[in-house]
Amino acid sequence: MNTPTLAKPATSQQNWIRWLFFRTRGDSPFVRLLIHVVLIAACALAIYPVLRVFSVSLRPGDQLLSSSLAIIPANATWSNYVQLFTSQNFVLWVWNSAIVTLSVSVLGVTLAATSAYAFSRWKFPGRGAGLLFLLTTQMIPAGMVLIPIYLMLAWSGTKLHIPMINTYRGLLLAYSTTALPFSIWILKGYYDTVPIDLEQAAMIDGASQLGAFWQIILPLSTPALAIVFLFNFMGAWSEFLVAYRVMLKDTLWTWPLGLNAMQGQFQTQWGMYAAGSILIMIPIMLLFLYSSKWLISGLTIGSVKG
């Protein structure tokens, strides 16, 4: 008669291996370690070029190339930052960029929110063709529409007596027309996921269509609105090509045009160029940090009564 064999108790080494590589719930410590290593490596690859630019901004003079790999050079100085504010119109460039960027962002979010709501909720003739037209405009490179945009702005100044060249309104119109189609598509897809029952319930309680849109749809669409705002802000903040042709006066230059002026034919002010590049990066970083709470928020948190 065969007697059953008892399983040998696991050794401490086997328990350690089982704990490291296998878990019944969640990721094992090895998988978490691997994920963190990959993320740290990706962050290092993304941050290192910025650190090199910061290193160039701390070098005296216009030293671009160096045999040292140190982030903080031995003869580090803040003179390039001081000269950027004293010998250049850097504050004016940033102010011009802030005016244009904030205006484009607010106008883009307003127009996109209302237009996308109409495309999402109402059925009207030409709706599909309009959406298709907005989609096809995104397939055209920005450089190809530069000439039509410039001709349109110049024509409005001569025929309609509304100056668009060398004015904020011309740059605002150019940026809004290029960013609006993508913004409408983002918000339209987001509105489609919001149940229409929420609006109908609000209108049963006495709210109008506009009131339901303002009190129900917009609060639920905060994550999508934040994405659209960031898209418009980043596009207008760092745009160079259109501003280079529209803003011809140096008093109206945005910061990309101002930094471009530091590149001479025979000499480039690399120190101040790098210092300006570091400073104009700060508003984008602060905006992302501030808006992250909306970007990761839920879709309909608090929309359903318990």
In a domain, 16, yes or no: no
pTM of the model: 0.80
191-226 burial, b at 16+ Cβ within 10 Å, e below that, comes to: beebeeebbeebeeeebeeeebbeebbeebbbbbbb
Q: Is 116 exposed, middle or buried (0-12, 13-18, 19+ CB in 10 A)?
A: buried
How confident is the model at residue 43, as a pLDDT?
Answer: 92
Do 112 and 44 share a structural domain? Answer: no
Do 228 and 150 share a structural domain? Answer: yes
Say how many C-beta atoms besides its own lie within 10 A of residue 276's C-beta. Answer: 24
Q: Are 271 and 59 in contact (CB under 8 A)?
A: yes
Q: What is the pLDDT of residues 207-240, one digit of tens each?
A: 888 888 888 888 888 888 888 898 899 889 988 9
Do 163 and 247 share a structural domain? Answer: yes
Residue 111, domain CATH: 1.10.3720.10
| The two three-digit tokens of residue 263, written as one number | 């590149």
Domain range for 252 is 88-295
| The two three-digit tokens of residue 14, written as one number | 């086997």
CA distance between the termini of the chain: 65
| Sole residue written with tokens 């904020």 | 168
Rounded Cα–Cα distance for residues 12 and 3 (Å): 27
Q: What is the pLDDT of residues 104-124, one digit of tens each?
A: 999 999 999 999 999 988 888
How confident is the model at residue 22, as a pLDDT?
Answer: 64
